[in-house]
Amino acid sequence: MRDAVKVGPRLYLRRLTEEDASTLAEASHLEDETGLHEDGRIPMSVLSFEAWIRGLDASSTVFAISRRGDGGCIGTASIRNIDRVNGTAETGSGLLRREDRGKGLGTEAKQLLLEFAFGELGLHVLSSTVFEGNVRSARALRKQGYRLAGRLTANVLAAGGVIGDTLVFDITRGDWEHARQEARPAEPSGHDGAGLAGPDDQASG
Amino acid sequence: MGKHELTGGEMVEDGSGLPPAIYLRGKLVGLRAPLRADAGDASVWYEGDPPLLPEAAESLLAAGERIPWGNNPTIRLMIVALASGEIVGGLIVHRSASRTSQLALTVGERVPQRAQVQAEVLRLAVPWLLNEVGLMTVTIRIPADETSMLTAAEGAGMHTAVRLREYVVRPGGRVNLLTMERVNEDWGRRWRRHDHA
Ligand SMILES: CC(C)(COP(=O)(O)OP(=O)(O)OC[C@H]1O[C@@H](n2cnc3c(N)ncnc32)[C@H](O)[C@@H]1OP(=O)(O)O)[C@@H](O)C(=O)NCCC(=O)NCCS
């Protein structure tokens, strides 16, 4: 688990690097589900992903999602628009292949991302937006502890001239801590082994 | 900005050569495009975290001011007191795909009749953006403790669409961040809505 930042039972998060650009570009050509993204599917170049990764600054943290025992990239998990004054940011995630979706992998990656956002970054509240047609993603967010904060009416013009709302979710540090306590009532307090990389696995920087 | 009340009445010519647009004038204030010379008043109109030095403000205006067609989705306007010609605030409209928009409204902390100015600007700008510019939605994010701004948004027909909990930090604790929106009903009639599950 080279450069692992957060480790879960099946997955780990590591920094996204320019070497991942070709995997992301290829996935944009092989996407076989429609209706996930408001702009529709667009084939994207390796160059464009390399430029995007190079251009990431301190306002974003983007991780590659990797399987344990395999350093590849099966998706991304991101924290964007980090506002260090207010302690807020927006999260997003995506699994690249259809066969990986709906198996709880996105939720495992999100739990690791939340640990990083509330733990290492010390953020207070996170938001996330979903096109209302993306029922699976909205469902996954609720399962991950996010609550519906409202909807932006007619915010998305999707395929076929259909206009849809954007659902906005939020999760506070309090929600997250509460959910963790509920999930692990018997766990002794102190260091939480699951989900934290060992010293050898810590990413540099 | 002086400490006296903003009185209504005839527009004073400020010599800038740009009067507030005749279709965006209220009783107290009007809206006009920015001038290079406005850089000196950035502390009043700039929507970001102050301070913005005049040189930086001039660069910001020079970099941002583009004909607002085609690829430029942003419209920045100065809020000018009609009676004195002084700048009392700024309004910036971020459009997305010529369809949706987000506003940022700034009115100087010490501007007299601040609440009335906020209300008047939104009552001028929101119908203009919906009915003339043709946007489908107009939104604005307002911390829940900014009551005069919330009242102004409500006065412009906006409603709470999103409430992000504890999203803004204040000296005394955290407050929610509301997104207020108004939807152009004409669009609703013309376009097919997603089938709510
Ligand atoms: C969004 C995403 C990251 C979620 O990760 P995931 O591993 O698929 O999520 P999970 O399997 O943990 O949870 C998905 C939930 O939706 C349900 N679900 C799966 N397919 C569904 C469908 N077609 N319709 C409705 N619900 C569905 C699952 O049953 C599960 O709920 P449950 O555990 O309560 O039964 C992943 O689906 C994905 O990458 N999708 C494509 C990209 C995307 O949409 N990104 C988000 C853009 S906002």
pLDDT digits (tens, 9 = 90+) for B149-171: 999 999 999 999 999 999 999 99
CB pairs under 8 A between A and B: 81
Q: Specify the DSSP element, H or E, that contains A127.
A: strand A125-131
Q: Is pLDDT above 90 for B58?
A: yes
Residue A82 distance to chain B (closest CA, Å): 12
Residue A197: the pLDDT is 36
Of residues A202 and B66, which shows the higher confidence score?
A: B66
- Which A residues 127-146 touch B at CB under 8 Å? 127, 132-133, 135
Give the nearest partner residue to A163 out of B163, B181, B191, using CB atoms. B191
- A22-33: average pLDDT: 94
Q: HSE (CB half, 13 Å, CA atoms) of A203?
A: 18
Evaluate whether residue A133 is within a structural domain.
yes
| Structure tokens given for B29 | 């204030």
CB contact under 8 A, A152 and B162: yes
Instruction: Give chain B's contact residues with A (Cβ, < 8 Å).
Output: 97, 99-100, 136-137, 139, 160-169, 174, 179, 181, 183, 187-188, 191-194, 196-197
Residue A36 contacts B where some CB pair is shorter than 8 Å: no
Q: What is the pTM of this model?
A: 0.86
Q: How many domains does chain A have?
A: 1
- Which of A155, A158, A164 is the closest to B137 by Cβ? A155
Least confident of A35-49, A80-94, B8-22, B56-70: B8-22
Question: What pLDDT digit, counting tens, does each position of B127-138 carry?
Answer: 999 999 989 999
Q: Which positions in chain B touch A128 (Cβ < 8 Å)?
A: none
Q: Please check the confidence at residue B179 and state whether its pLDDT lies above 50.
A: yes
Residues A146-183 pLDDT 10s:
999 999 998 887 777 778 899 999 999 999 999 988 88
DSSP label at residue B25: B
Give domain status of residue A52, yes or no. yes
How far does the CA of residue A162 sit from the closest CA of chain B (Å)?
Answer: 5
Residue A202 falls within a domain, yes or no? no
For the cut 70, the answer to whether the pLDDT of residue A201 exceeds it is no
Higher pLDDT, B13 or B196: B196
Interface test with A, best of B174, B185, B194, B195 (most A CBs within 10 A): B194
Residue of chain B whose Cα is closest to the Cα of A89: B167
**Over 90: is that where the pLDDT of A119 sits?**
yes
Residue A189 lies in a domain: no
Residue A190 belongs to some domain of the structure? no
A127 domain residue, yes or no: yes
pLDDT bucket at B16, cuts 50 / 70 / 90: low
B11: confidence class by pLDDT, cuts 50, 70, 90: low
Residue A119 lies in a domain: yes
Instruction: Give the domain CATH number at A176.
Output: 3.40.630.30
Let me know how many helices (H) and strands (E) chain A has, helices first. Answer: 5, 8
pLDDT above 70 for A142: yes
Give the mean model confidence (pLDDT) for residues A101-128.
98
Looking at every residue in chain B, the average pLDDT score rounds to 89
Considering only CB atoms, A85 lies closest to which of B160, B169, B179, namely B169
Please tell me the predicted confidence (pLDDT) of residue B186.
81
Q: Are A72 and A93 in contact (CB under 8 A)?
A: no
Range of the domain at A106: 4-183
DSSP assignment of B126-145 equals HHIIIIIS--SEEEEEEETT
Contacts of A105 (CB under 8 A, 6+ apart): A10, A11, A65, A74, A75, A95
Question: What domains are there in chain B, each with its CATH number?
Answer: 24-195 (3.40.630.30)
Tell me what pLDDT residue B8 has: 56
Asked, for residue A34, whether it belongs to a domain, the answer is yes
The identity of residue A166, as a single letter, is T
Characterize the bridge pairing of strands B29-32 and B87-96. unpaired
Report ipTM (2 d.p.): 0.80
pLDDT tens digit sequence for B71-123: 778 999 999 999 999 999 999 999 998 889 999 999 988 999 999 999 999 99
